[in-house]
Amino acid sequence: MIELKTRTEIEAMRPAGAFVAEVLTALQDYAAVGVNLLELDEFAHERIRRRGATSCYIDYHPSFGAMPFGHVLCTSVNDGVLHGLPHDYTLRDGDLLSVDFAVSVDGWVADSAISFVVGTPREDDLRLIRATEEALAAAIDTATVGNRIGDISAAIGAVAREHGYRVNTQFGGHGVGREMHGDPHIANDGRPGRGLPLREGLVIAIEPWFMAGTDEIYTDDDGWTLRSKDGSRGAHSEHTIAITGDGPLVLTSRA
């Protein structure tokens, strides 16, 4: 079911968005060569406890997960492209790390993701990350009253093709509110002018993710981490936005 938020409800979602943005910024500063993924997860968990927030991930157990997730971050490294389960892995120079973080503050959810290189970057990785960020910006620009879900999807797909990447449409954006995942689903490619009309009060997470060499994925033996089928690296960018009469409002902005 599609839920539209009032202006008052959108304002009530701002603290969750600001907290998610704050933690992701701190995580990017904290992540370094020699830091373990489990340390990153505890770093975020401690901030959740201090804020009195609630993780959306710990007890999360959708049909595609082997068991409840059990952590507060998704940490996807290199060819791990989505839903990376934190584990005993120490970050190395040149690792491409994607971090996805979603919490509830005062009953309202915000969801966001960033990708960055730990240590010495490779130009191919930076290009891949920039492509997801450009796709996210293009998609947000189309998230205006009177457009349609297909316009958002088409904007993402166009940027991917411009950079020479193929698009996997199995996982994408979604509605956000009292729960982390709701309607509508927002594929990362599509046809403009199709799908649900965008109305004032719709709050959604838009999340382009691309892989350098393929559009095919498989599930790691951990039952959660999605990896590129050819071993190529992936990147992921995501914001929670509200569609308003004044244009898209980025609730998880890190600017």
Under 8 Å between Cβ of 99 and 75:
yes
238 carries a ligand binding annotation: yes
What does each C-alpha distance from 112 to 74, 138, 150, 216, 253 come to in angstroms? 11, 16, 21, 23, 9
Name the packing angle between helices 37-51 and 7-30 (round to 10°): 140
111 carries a ligand binding annotation: yes
207 carries a ligand binding annotation: yes
* Cα–Cα distance measured from residue 174 to residue 4, given in angstroms and rounded to the nearest whole number: 13
174 carries a ligand binding annotation: yes
Burial of 110 (0-12, 13-18, 19+ CB in 10 A): buried
Under 8 Å between Cβ of 145 and 245:
yes
The amino acid sitting at 234 is: G
Under 8 Å between Cβ of 10 and 242:
yes
* Cα–Cα distance measured from residue 6 to residue 27, given in angstroms and rounded to the nearest whole number: 32
DSSP string across 62-119: -TTSSS---SS-EEEETTEEESPPP-S-B--TT-EEEEEEEEEETTEEEEEEEEEESS
The amino acid sitting at 4 is: L
First to last CA, the chain: 32
100 carries a ligand binding annotation: yes
200 carries a ligand binding annotation: no
Binding residues for a divalent metal cation: 100, 111, 174, 207, 238
User: Which residues sit in the known binding site?
Assistant: 83, 100, 111, 174, 181, 207, 238
In the annotated binding site for substrate, the residues are 83, 181
